[in-house]
Amino acid sequence: MGRMFGTDGVRGVANKVVTAELTLGLSVAAARVLSEKGEFAGHRPVAVVGRDPRASGEFLGAATVAGLASAGVDVYDAGVLPTPAIAYLTAAVGADIGAMLSASHNPMPDNGIKFFSRGGHKLPDATEDAIEARLGDEWEHPVGAAVGRVLPYPEGATRYVEHLLSTLPHRLDGMRIVLDAANGAASTVGPEVFRQAGAQVIVIGAEPDGLNINDGYGSTHLEHLRDAVTREHADMGLAFDGDADRCLAVDGFGQVVDGDQIMAVLAIDLKERGVLAGNTLVATVMSNLGMLQAMEREGIQVLQTAVGDRYVLEGMKAGSYSLGGEQSGHVILLEHGTTGDGILTGLTLASRVAATGKSLADHAACMTRLPQVLVNVPGVDKHAVDDHQVVQAAVDAARAALGDLGRVLLRKSGTEPLVRVMVEADTAERAERVADDLALVVQRELSLG
């Protein structure tokens, strides 16, 4: 059996994989592991728990609260809030542990749990492994006054809104913005923040009923947002995902502005304001070549990491950098948050537009997004791809043919016998041709069949 914790907590079909019993057990184990590591030494431990509006979050949240309280932890139950809000509140109230019930951009039947340590930081792998190892162990339950107490924490939303507004470089007065909350965790706080920041807000995808999260709305379904922006003659549109740790944008013409473009705009903004630490942007190897070229023109260095927000965050912390993220719209502004925060990202982007008087389309034009083609090659020996002479010779030949006009990347899937062939080129036709040719070589040389 593989590791229970993935790159973003434990996730799966709610009540089948992620059950009440599992979340209760994980919560107890997390409290015990952190206690044994000395995290609770000398004081009564406190936790902050939140969830997105999935129906299953109601009972999974209750199980998580119960598990923590049974282990002697006092719990602030913050209810429905974005993942980055729970990370922020864990730090803001001085809590020892945070827990969030969400499956982010996954469909409604899924759910998940992730934990934060003191300060709102994701748990290290070793701590997650220790929690998994202690799951189901016999343990001595606290009794009497030693059991944890549970307090509703509705003021958590207010504190989070105030925090976001405190980061605002420039107010949004006069701006007309469409927000798509994915019928998720940002449905209430997202519009509230932008209204208080001065914007005129048109809201879509903000009627969560427990079943409709991410269903046709949000950062993975931008059609409604594009239509609303053009119909409402808005300056821009912003789409969050189910737990609001991601943000994608749409300009006033209805054109999508992806995570790479958002990062490019924000990097230039932070550099001009003198707050781009190390004059560096941290991004993954999947970021578009057009962004790398734009940053080079702007005199901004790009540190590239493996794919995954955890690797971006590791790179940022190691170099004390302030901005990083992924093409998906998962952007980390480390001065203001310990994790990706879609509302914060959108707020900072809109602030840049408001401060300059230039449209989002004008700002996004700082980079030219090169056509990118991704081909999945299944049923192959993915572990042989890096050292296979014929495959690497084909990759070298493709790179030589593309020169400065494109890029080739072969990646192993983390979970399947699959190799991903990614090609960028000056035209979509050339990118498709090179990607298809390389995929044939990988299939022929590495097939398991």
The residues annotated with a catalytic role in the active site are 104
What 8-state DSSP symbol labels residue 382? G
Residue 258, annotated as binding a ligand: no
Residue 77, annotated as binding a ligand: no
Give the amino acid at 1.
Answer: M
- Cα 230 to Cα 49, 178, 202, 223, 353: the distances in Å are 38, 10, 12, 11, 18
**CA atoms of 120 and 167, how far apart (whole Å):** 18
Residue 245, annotated as binding a ligand: yes
- B/e letters for 223-242, b = 16+ CB within 10 Å, e = fewer, are ebbbebbbeeebbbbbbbbb
Residue 70, annotated as binding a ligand: no
**CA atoms of 183 and 244, how far apart (whole Å):** 10
Residue 429 burial (CB count, 10 A): 11
Q: Which has the closest alpha carbon to 384: 438, 445, 436?
A: 445
Instruction: Name the phi and psi angles at 373, rounded to 5.
Output: -120, 130
Per-residue three-class SS string for 53-66: CCHHHHHHHHHHHH
The burial of 47, by beta-carbon neighbours within 10 Å (0-12 exposed, 13-18 middle, 19 or more buried), is given as buried
Question: Which residue in this structure is represented by tokens 């057009």?
Answer: 290
Annotated binding site for Mg(2+): 104, 241, 243, 245
Annotated binding site: 104, 241, 243, 245
